[in-house]
């Protein structure tokens, strides 16, 4: 069976050349591609949400198959409908449905029915396919529409998908297609979307569904996301990460009624104890205005004394960075907590972090070795060593291995600027190493 494109010319361009001309500038270059178990991608028109979808797809080392779960906007066909065989056609070419995997999913999930009619005019899955074809022209798909339903039903769908992947031994990414808050003000969308995203990054489908109901969050694809979260947790996922977020208002500049768009990837690696502690410190302080006290039983990784820097990034852009050259506390745990709170609330370059920003933050914790004096730049290496430049009571510090800083001379120049040390003032140089935790 051939499923012809129905959204081409409306949600995205109707020709291959025009699709490429629209999405090529949105590709995020220079980042490592990784295998992820799952992802969330928005499905509005490419001018509005295409940048967010491309921010996700640019990071994906795509496997052979993408299982794409999308909500049903049309109400046509079965509540939970799979197209189990055939070809999907887009202006980018034809995409084969992986029939063996589709039939295995139906075997393990009694709720899912084979029903091509549910897919005929539905755009939520279709708009993802040209983007996936752009990066992997021979990709196969398993398309499933997932309507609103009880949490138990959505969990069963997730378990069924995970069981089918185990049975077949196929490697696939599970993509949930969803936009976020619909037609509310920019500020309300930020707040409501942050509540849903906070649950999603914790892979907590039940919490996400409860928050959506309690806060009237108009997230159209919450059912596909809930099913995806159950599946990836069953497959060993540890956390999700927001890689892009914006609203239609960021494009149109009309902020009274916006639609939110979020892009996430699901990872199999856990946060390090250092980063988990920094995140907990920031989130507790921003939400409750309290500084947490690390457990009385501090692990070996968090004991000992050292200088620590905590850096916050919001969707890849620096959002705060505060640290200590030398230890101010008798353990690394307290050092992390203090500097994490300061990075979020006291970095003079930025406004304090707002609660709605929390799900969008990523954290980096650098634990410093004691500084060693050096005679000249021959003993420095911009990738390996951080630098401290000292002149009288003025001191400037720069961490190692920073993007765009490639030489010791650049490090020293930046340190002088940060500390207010003139270019001709004599200085003492120190180097240190860091252990960086992401």
> Rounded distance, CA 85 to CA 45, Å?
27
pLDDT score for 298: 85
Strand duo 372-374 + 428-432: pairing: antiparallel
Query: For residue 200, what are its two tokens?
Result: 């999603």
Question: Structure pTM?
Answer: 0.93
pLDDT score for 295: 77
Mean pLDDT by groups of 10 residues along the chain of 438 residues: 96 98 97 96 98 98 98 95 97 98 97 96 98 98 94 97 96 98 98 98 98 98 98 97 98 97 95 96 98 86 94 97 94 97 97 98 96 94 96 95 94 96 95 94
Chain-centroid distance of CA 201 in Å reads: 8
Closest CA to 90 of 159, 184, 23, 170: 23
C-alpha to C-alpha distances, 252 to 220, 255, 390, nearest whole angstrom: 21, 8, 48
């Amino acid at each position: 069976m051939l499923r012809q494109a129905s959204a081409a010319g409306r949600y995205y361009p109707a020709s291959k050349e025009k699709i490429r001309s629209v999405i090529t500038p949105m590709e995020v270059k220079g980042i490592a591609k990784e295998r992820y178990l799952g992802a969330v991608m928005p499905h509005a028109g490419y001018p509005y949400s295409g940048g967010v979808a491309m921010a996700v797809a640019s990071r994906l080392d795509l496997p052979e198959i993408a299982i794409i779960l999308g909500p049903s906007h049309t109400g046509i066909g079965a509540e939970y409908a799979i197209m189990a065989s055939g070809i999907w056609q887009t202006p980018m070419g034809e995409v084969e449905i992986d029939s063996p995997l589709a039939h295995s999913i139906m075997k393990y999930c009694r709720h899912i029915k084979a029903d091509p009619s549910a897919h005929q005019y539905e755009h939520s899955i279709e708009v993802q396919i040209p983007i996936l074809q752009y990066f992997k022209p021979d990709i196969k798909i398993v398309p499933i529409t997932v309507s609103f339903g009880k949490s138990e039903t959505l969990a069963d769908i997730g378990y069924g998908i995970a069981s089918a992947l185990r049975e077949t031994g196929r490697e696939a990414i599970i993509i949930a297609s969803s936009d976020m808050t619909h037609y509310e003000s920019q500020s309300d969308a930020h707040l409501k979307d942050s509540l849903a995203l906070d649950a999603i990054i914790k892979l907590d489908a039940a919490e996400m569904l409860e928050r959506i109901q309690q806060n009237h969050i108009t997230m159209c694809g919450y059912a596909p996301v809930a099913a995806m979260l159950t599946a990836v947790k069953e497959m060993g996922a540890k956390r999700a990460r927001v890689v892009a977020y914006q609203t239609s208002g960021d494009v149109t500049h009309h902020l009274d009624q916006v639609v939110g768009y979020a892009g996430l990837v699901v990872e199999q690696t856990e946060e390090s104890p250092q980063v988990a502690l920094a995140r907990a410190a920031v989130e507790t302080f921003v939400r409750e205005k309290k500084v947490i006290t690390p457990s009385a039983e501090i692990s070996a990784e968090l004991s000992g004394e050292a200088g620590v820097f905590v850096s916050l990034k919001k969707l890849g852009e620096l959002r705060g960075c505060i640290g200590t050259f030398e230890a101010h506390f008798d353990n690394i745990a307290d050092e992390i907590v203090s500097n994490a709170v300061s990075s979020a609330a006291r970095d003079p370059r930025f406004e304090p972090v707002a609660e709605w920003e929390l799900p969008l933050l990523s954290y980096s914790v650098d634990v410093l070795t004691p500084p060693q004096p050096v005679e000249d730049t021959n003993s420095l290496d911009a990738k390996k060593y951080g630098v401290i430049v000292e002149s009288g009571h003025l001191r400037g510090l720069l961490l190692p291995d920073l993007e765009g800083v490639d030489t010791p001379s650049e490090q020293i120049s930046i340190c002088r600027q940060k500390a207010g040390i003139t270019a001709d003032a004599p200085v003492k140089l120190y180097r240190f190493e860091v252990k960086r935790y992401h």
